[in-house]
Structure 1
Amino acid sequence: MPPSQRPLAPVLCLLLLLPVLAGAAERPARIVIDPGHGGAKEGAKGPGELREKDVALQVAQRLRARLEAAGGEVYLTRERDSLVSLTERVSLTNDHGADLFISIHANSMPTKKMRARTEGIETYFMSANASGEAARAVADRENAEAPVARAARGDSTLAFILEDLVRTEAHTDSSRLAYAIHPRLIARTRAADRGVQQAPFFVLSGVECPAVLVEVGYISHPQEGLKLGRADYQEKLAEAISEGVLTFLKETRRRDADRSPQQVAGPVSP
């Protein structure tokens, strides 16, 4: 849709929340958006030539535009169809001193019967224990590109990190971020609500800030897959995620108003 024809409401919403991301005498919130997969790692496949890596990058680019319009300092872990390892994505996020990390993916099912009936959006945050077998399966699939993905459960160093997460404020804030984003995604898209879930995602395990992974829909579903390839639907996804991020940062800023700058997971003074 040309800019002149876009609804004014989302723009006005961003303008009203602009101080949340970049107020006077404050640096903007640093947000890293991670488009899943890329290059030879195509991810899941949908109808026709639709590929997860393309959908993830397109949604990430739309989300970046919205958050930058609101005053955010936004980085993508990949700018194009390129191969970036999960370890590099984590390192980039920490090197930028990110306040938030959002990984974008699309889900899939393995059999024709399951592809025909399974659809909806899921939002994940990091946990040593998955919400259930389905959540564990999603994590295993997304962890397949990690150098130690298959052995992660038995690795003592990673196990220590996962166990320690339950005692960190970043982990608590990851949950808050997930619950700020997810209901807005469901309301905006009217997709099936598959809930906020927990699972041990490799890409979430090493970042030093609140982090979520959003499965924006089932690319393998005949109808939902087609929606994920449409620009207007991608805009809805980006709008909902950006609204959740802005709300989270506003609430976090209010909560942390009396704390030192180093403790604020959002806009902070230089």
Structure 2
Amino acid sequence: MRYFLALMVGLSCLGFAQPRVGTESGLTRLVFSIPGEAKFSLSRQGNEVVIRFWGTPPRTLRTLLNTPQVVGYRAAPSPGGSTYVVTLKAGTSYRTQALSNPRRLVLEVQSSVAARTRPRAKAPAPVVVLDPGHGGLDPGAVGFVREEEVVLDIALRTKRLLEARGIQVVLTRSSDRHLSASKATDLGMRAAMADSKRTLFVSIHANAAERAAQGIEVYYFGETIDQRLLSKAILENGGGALGQRLTQEARSVAQRLMSDLLAQANLKFSEQLALKTLRAMVHETGAVSRGVQTAPFYVIRNARIPAILVEVGFVNHPSEGKKLGTSVYRAQLASGLAKGIMAFLNSGNAQR
């Protein structure tokens, strides 16, 4: 697996605020530039290294790394300067070195010797969860086609394509049925399948709009102030009073996740999955790209793995709605979805 340093773009101008980060086999290195006559002290508290700086500007930061040794770090103002807290992963140790000309503090975090020399176990097979939205009592959007029928067919086609590439696929439903007569319970049961035993989760839906609209859009979990997206989330979360309640619950989760480093790392991977999936589906179909966005969808609110919700098109659009009823177009959508998933898995971003 290849790890990527997340949320680093655009931060180089912060100087002391942002340490330089490098990785080698079994090691992550953070280098802090120390201005003037500033002083520092270090201590370890559980899985955290605390670095207290005096004589430096006050800083507020929260950065994700997710290397094999380091989860990330955060900084907050403290009397006379700032305090940085570096969160280490299990089975690591660290050492520090102070350098001069220019002044720097080097923090090296190493995997344990046992971890570095232990023979690598065979990587578990990726497990992809495909969630055809709605079904049974809930037909979803209805236009030239019914959402529940379109998304199930696309999910079954995608399943076959992924299995042909050696990927294990789990479907939340494989026929025209609901998981529970209670919509809240139904969504909760689907969401529960996005657990750490699986690799990624894709919920498949189709759109409808009062005004003519077409194209593919992909979402990952998060907050939004766009009223259109809130209304859409309410509809997908059950509609009416139930949809409003579940959407508010999901928004509360989104706000809590902002302070959780591991959750933020997972959302970053979800964003990458969304981008790769949209790109592949648009390339395969020639459909309009409506972009990647965040919204508080209940079904992906508690995902412990990269999770997205895909809207494959508009069932009531005069041309796209009719295309969604054809075997040829559904095959193209499934091909694009499978290729996007494979591109994500092959990139090394999947958290296994």
Coarse TM-score class (shorter-chain normalised): 0.7 to 0.9
- Among 47, 61, 69, the residue aligned to 2:164: 69
Shift, 1:222, TM fit: 1.4
- On the 8 A contact 2:237/2:247 being kept in 1, the answer is no
Q: Which one has a bigger Cα radius of gyration?
A: 2
Q: Which residue of 2 aligns with 1:185?
A: 281
Question: What corresponds to 1:204 in structure 2?
Answer: 300
Partner of 1:28: 125
Looking at both structures, which has the greater relative contact order when contacts are Cα pairs under 8 Å and sequence separation is at least 6? 1
Task: Please tell me whether the aligned partners of residues 237 and 297 of structure 2 are also in contact (alpha carbons under 8 angstroms).
Answer: yes
Distance across 2 between alignment mates of 1:185 and 1:238: 8
Task: After TM superposition, give the deviation of residue 145 of structure 1 in Å.
Answer: 6.2
Matched to 2:237, the amino acid is N
Partner of 1:163: 255
SS at match of 1:26: coil
Q: Which residue matches 2:232? A: 138
| Residue 261 (structure 1) aligns with | none
Match of 1:195 in 2: 291
| Residue number in structure 1 paired with 2:139 | 42
Question: Over residues 182-213 of structure 1, what are the superposed CA-to-partner deviations in whole Å (9 max), with x where a residue is unaligned?
Answer: 11111111111111111000001022111000
8 Å Cα contact 2:224/2:295 also seen in 1: yes
Tell me which residue corresponds to 1:91.
192
Contact 1:29–1:72, Cα closer than 8 Å, also in 2: yes
Give the CA deviation at 1:101.
Answer: 0.3
Residue of structure 2 in register with 1:149 after alignment? 243
Partner of 2:113: none
Cα distance in 2 between the residues matched to 1:153 and 1:214? 18
1:81, CA displacement in angstroms?
Answer: 0.5
Matches of 1:139 and 1:154, distance apart in 2: 10
- Identify which of 259, 264, 268 aligns with 1:172: 268
Distance 1:54 1:121 in 2: 17
Q: Check conservation: 2:135, 2:148, Cα contact below 8 A.
A: yes
Deviation per CA, 1:215-258, whole angstroms, max 9, x where unpaired?
000011111011111111111111111111111111125xxxxx
Deviation at 1:148, TM superposition (A): 5.0
Offset at 1:26?
Answer: 2.5
Over 3 Å counting, the alpha-carbon distance change for 1:200 and 1:230 in structure 2 is same
- 2 CA distance for matches of 1:159 and 1:185? 28
- Matched with 2:3 is none
Structure 2 match to 1:16: none
* Contact 1:178/1:196, CA 8 A, preserved across alignment: yes
1:124 to 219, 237, 261: 219
State the Cα distance separating 1:159 from its structure 2 match.
Answer: 4.6
Which has the larger helix fraction?
A: 1
Partner of 1:258: none
For the pair 1:100 / 2:194, whether they are aligned, the reply is: no
* Contiguous gaps of at least 5 residues in structure 1: 1-23, 254-263
* Partner Cα distance (2:286, 2:251) in 1: 37
The code of the aligned residue for 2:340 comes to G
Identity %: 34
Rounded to whole Å, the distance in 2 between the matches of 1:154 and 1:222 is 34
The separation in 2 between residues aligned to 1:147 and 1:204, in whole angstroms, is: 20
Would the alpha carbon gap of residues 233 and 162 (structure 1) be closer, same or farther in structure 2, given more than 3 Å must change? same
Q: Amino acid of the residue matched to residue 255 of structure 2?
A: E
Q: Which amino acid aligns with 2:302?
A: G
Residue in 2 that maps onto 1:4 = none
| Structure 2 unpaired stretches of 5+ | 1-120, 180-185
Kindly provide the CA deviation profile for residues 14-35 of structure 1, in whole angstroms up to 9, marking residues without a partner as x.
xxxxxxxxxx933210110000
Q: What TM-score does the superposition give when structure 1 sets the normalisation length?
A: 0.77
1:213 lines up with 2:337 in the alignment: no
Please tell me the root mean square deviation across aligned C-alpha atoms, in Å.
2.1
C-alpha distance in structure 1 between counterparts of 2:241 and 2:268, whole Å: 27
Which 4+ residue blocks in structure 1 deviate beyond 6 angstroms? Answer: none
- Kindly indicate which of the two structures has a greater share of residues assigned to strand: 2
Alignment size in residue pairs? 222
1:180, CA displacement in angstroms? 0.7
